[in-house]
Structure 1
Amino acid sequence: MLYYICINKGLGILEGQMVKDELRALVIEILESKSHVTINELAQKTYTSESTIRRALKEMESAGDLVRTRGGASLVREDSLEKGMHYRYGSHILEKRRIAIAAEKLIEDGQRIMIDSSSTALIFAEQIRRHKYMDILTNGLRTAVELSEIMDHTTNLYCACGHIHTEASGVYGGSTTAYIEQHQADLAFISGRGLDSRIGISDSRDEEADIKKAMMKASDCVVVLIDSSKFEKTNFFASLGFDQIDVLVTDKKLPQDIAEKLEQFDVHLIVADS
């Protein structure tokens, strides 16, 4: 279903059709500025009907993005480990797209690549449609579907097997890591929930960390895609140390302590154009 929208962005008027993911991203952006927003307020700010907003909120609640309240909605707590893919996809989406565009330049036709199930990697996957003769392996369900729709017949797509985690829209577990380790890739594109100078990339679930370690072992070059909202954040499970990262792509200048770690371990840094 497509939605029509007209938004005053301050720099001009953006008009046209908006798909569901983009409406969700806008709703999340509005909710992030306030602890609670009414249906009427969301309808006015998105130039859609209240019935459209109600349907969107119902779907977003089912996906774990928010909690519906009487007459409105609130975001899930910031410390929740189970934010849905729709929320993560919409959060900091402009920064993630800049990172994805910069990272796409690292790919050449005919390469073998791995892509994890993160929202940043999903946005990256949307950028690689022009490439051909690829072998692509992912543990992301939405990433696999997206690639199946945009890549041409010369590309072979593989989705890892294992336990499906619906909120994360990914496949995890021992069978998943074993499947990944049976393959060898030129590049692995990986994200994380935190980046700090002490441990590097970290995640909130051990299964996420295990996937990234498996992709690192099965790839010649590890590319980390991480937006600036993750700087100086640490989660319970360490995923990748700086000595296991070859390239880091981000959207802003790094804090000094993290920049020094990248230099110490000879990690190539790419800061996406604004």
Structure 2
Amino acid sequence: MLVRDGSVALDALSEHFSVSKMTIHRDLDDLEQAGLLRKVRGGATIEPGTQFESDFRFRERQGGDVKRRIARAALELVEPGSTVIVNDGSMAAVLGAMLVEARPLTVITNNFAVMEALRNERGITLIGLGGTYSSKYNGFFGVVTEESLFRLRADIAFISTPAVSRTTSYHMDDAVVRAKQAMMKISDRKCLMVGHQRFGRSALHAMADLRDFDAIVTDAEPGAASMEELRDAGITLTIAKDKAE
């Protein structure tokens, strides 16, 4: 229900499962503690907040068409024979699976879904970054991840973000931010992948200025206020078009 609708109401859950509201409250408390959802007045949501991002298992089942469009546009920036970094995230996982189309490549990633997709592919030299595994983000983070990155060099890094406010990208988790920033530091070019609905949002930790990226790929123009701020800052978006357009 959360994957389909993004949020659920306490009353509707109680009626649907034929249990008391108190039972639903306790269940939502357990799921929130596990990091799977965020309780709000009268129900729960998996929509991101300043300190909350939904579990990877939810995110990988949402917005498939948008993610594929953005990933396909980002793939055009990859040249065979190059070294590519792919960060954590469900959109990045879609791009990771597409990278076989640009082989031979060396792919550096902390995204377990990308490792799974590429581990048996010929023409792909896969460098999986170790570290502390996070089931919430389905990736590896921490000091081991960051220090491993600083021993490497890449041609291009593909970075995703759940929030953009004005000209700054944000994330809810400081360990995730540090890993993304380390990836950017060792890459000659940087590409930000972000859905247009993520503009006009913020999160707890600032990650990077949009002007630090060589390309910003999204699926549609964000709202008028965001577009005005981007134009004033001289920032151009690459809009991933639908094949039917």
Task: Name the counterpart of 2:179.
Answer: 211
For 1:157 and 1:95, how far apart are their aligned partners in 2?
Answer: 26
Aligned partner of residue 137 in structure 2, secondary structure:
coil
Among candidates 129, 138, 146, match of residue 177 of structure 1: 146
Is residue 236 of structure 2 the alignment partner of residue 236 of structure 1? no
Of 67, 71, 77, the residue aligned with 1:100 is 71
Q: Residue 233 and residue 78 in structure 1: after superposition, are their counterparts in 2 closer, same or farther (change >3 A)?
A: closer
Secondary structure in 1 matching 2:157: strand
Equivalent of 2:163, from 167, 171, 194? 194
Partner residue, 1:128: 99
Indicate the SS of the match to 1:168: coil
The Cα of 1:65 is off from its aligned counterpart by 4.4
Say which of 222, 227, 233 aligns to 1:254. 222
Identity of aligned residues (%): 23
Q: Which of the pair has the greater relative contact order for Cα pairs under 8 Å at 6+ separation?
A: 2
The answer for the alignment partner of 1:143 in structure 2 is 114
Q: Distance in 2 between matches of 1:104 and 1:117?
A: 16
Would the aligned equivalents of 1:116 and 1:139 in 2 still touch at CA under 8 Å? yes
Which residues of 2 match residues 35-114 of structure 1 at below 5 A? 35=9, 65=36, 76=46, 79=49, 81=52, 83-114=54-85
What amino acid maps onto 1:209 in structure 2? V
Aligned partner letter, 1:101: R
Decide whether aligned partners of structure 1 residues 272 and 229 sit closer, same or farther in structure 2, where only a CA change above 3 A counts.
Answer: same
Q: In the alignment, is the contact (CA less than 8 A) between 1:97 and 1:124 conserved in 2?
A: yes
Matches of 1:114 and 1:78, distance apart in 2: 25
Shift of 1:30: 2.6
TM-score (norm 2): 0.79
- Structure 1 residue ranges without an equivalent (≥5): 1-26, 42-59, 68-72
Q: Secondary structure at the match of 1:161?
A: coil
1:262 to 1:186, Cα distance in 2 relative to 1, 3 A: farther
8 Å CA contact 1:31, 1:74 repeated in 2: no
In the other structure, the counterpart of 2:23 is none
Aligned partner letter, 1:146: A
Q: How far apart, in 2, do the equivalents of 1:257 and 1:74 lie?
A: 29
Aligned equivalent of 1:16: none
Change (3 A) 1:156 1:262: farther
For residue 169 of structure 1, report the CA deviation from its aligned partner: 0.7
- Distance (Å, rounded) in 2 between the aligned partners of 1:234 and 1:214: 21
Describe the shift of the 1:268–1:74 C-alpha distance in structure 2 as closer, same or farther (beyond 3 A): closer
Greater mean deviation of Cα atoms: 248-257 or 170-179: 248-257
Paired AA for residue 149 in structure 2:
I
Per the TM alignment, residue 82 of structure 1 is displaced from its structure 2 partner at its CA by 5.2
| Equivalent residue, structure 2, for 1:160 | 129
Per the alignment, do residues 265 and 212 of structure 1 end up closer, same or farther by CA in structure 2, a change over 3 Å counting? Answer: farther
What TM-score do the two structures reach when normalised by structure 1? Answer: 0.71
2:94 corresponds to which letter in structure 1?
A: I
CA distance in 2, matches of 1:137, 1:258: 32
**Which whole-Å CA distance do the structure 1 matches of 2:153 and 2:229 have between them?**
27
What's the CA shift for 1:179?
0.8
Q: 1: distance between equivalents of 2:154 and 2:228?
A: 28
Q: Alpha-carbon deviation of 1:266?
A: 5.4
**What do residues 142-183 of structure 1 show as CA deviations (whole Å, max 9, x unaligned)?**
22111224xx32210011111111211111112211111211
Query: Amino acid of the residue matched to residue 35 of structure 1?
Result: A
